[in-house]
Copies of this chain bind each other. A is one copy, B any other.
Amino acid sequence: MSVETLTRDEVQEKPAVPLKAKDYKGKVDPDWCPGCGDFGVLSSLQRACANLGLQPHEILTISGIGCSSNFPGFFNSYGMHTLHGRALAVATGAQMGNHELTVFVTGGDGDGYGIGGNHFTHTARRNVDLTYIVMDNQIYGLTTGQVSPTSSIDMRTKSTPFGSVEAPINPITAAIMNGATFVARAFSGDARHLTGLIEQAVQHRGFALIDVFSPCVTFNKDNDYPFFKQRVKKLEDEGHDPGDWKAACEKAMIWGDEIYTGLFFQKKDAPTLGDQEPVLDEGGAIARRELGITRDQSDRIIKRMM
């Protein structure tokens, strides 16, 4: 077999059939614990993709390692189940390699804000065009319940049996300050709201974070469905202006009887990383271009060496 330079337009010549949420079911059914918050995220993403009319082969879903990171296996698209904490780095490479794909990154709070924290910071500031969905259960689920960077102070876990003493990070304010251009929070118990946010995030050009409260029913008994159900309040219902970073941060810091969900912050005009790289302008994914360099190019290079 050899390399064919097929443009995305050619591939899509056949008019796409409208898809339903169930068309995005993966090869196996999720093996999450019954009641796990991640089910709601999966179904929301499936619905959002159907609503957006994305074909499975046009999507690349990339994760790290964790319960939540098992996501690509349960979702019908191209997928990569990479290393713990590294999904955003892999995704940046993939997005640059083929910027015609719709890239989702799916993972957990430990994966993304713990070990993956540095890629989170830098992918945000680069404004890489992808949608990052963090299933934030404030615990390390797959490793059976240790403290996470979003665990609250005093939370007792297997690694903090006397209660955590470290202030949690706030992914929303961190993302805003790191330069993310779309920053939202959702609750997996409200699939409709989440679906809407995902649709907006995909339509947004640039780095979009959706931090989703996705309860771990097995290891986090503090932040369960009732905890969130009683507290979540939608920003949309309050007329919040996503252009106002100060209000966004202020709202994001509220953590008590009320916890806000919704679109905290959006900056619409910022160029994405790809927009600023003239190499992509030549058209088509670089992954699909002719390999090697021309004689003219090589002559010029060698001449400079003489």
Contact = CB atoms under 8 A, between A and B. Distances in A.
Interface of A: 115, 117-118, 121-122, 125-127, 149, 165-170, 173-174, 176-179, 246, 249-250, 270, 273, 276-277
The quantity of this chain's copies bound in the complex is 2
Given A117-B118, A118-B118, A273 B125 contact: no
Contacts of A165: 273, 276-277
Contacts of A168: 125
Contacts of A249: 177, 246, 249
A176 B174 CA distance: 9
Contacts of A167: 125-127, 179, 270
B177 A173 contact: yes
21 contacts: A115-B118, A117-B117, A117-B122, A121-B121, A121-B174, A122-B169, A125-B167, A125-B168, A125-B169, A126-B166, A165-B276, A165-B277, A169-B178, A169-B179, A170-B177, A173-B177, A174-B177, A174-B178, A176-B177, A246-B249, A249-B249
A14 to B, nearest CB: 36
A173 B121 CA distance: 12
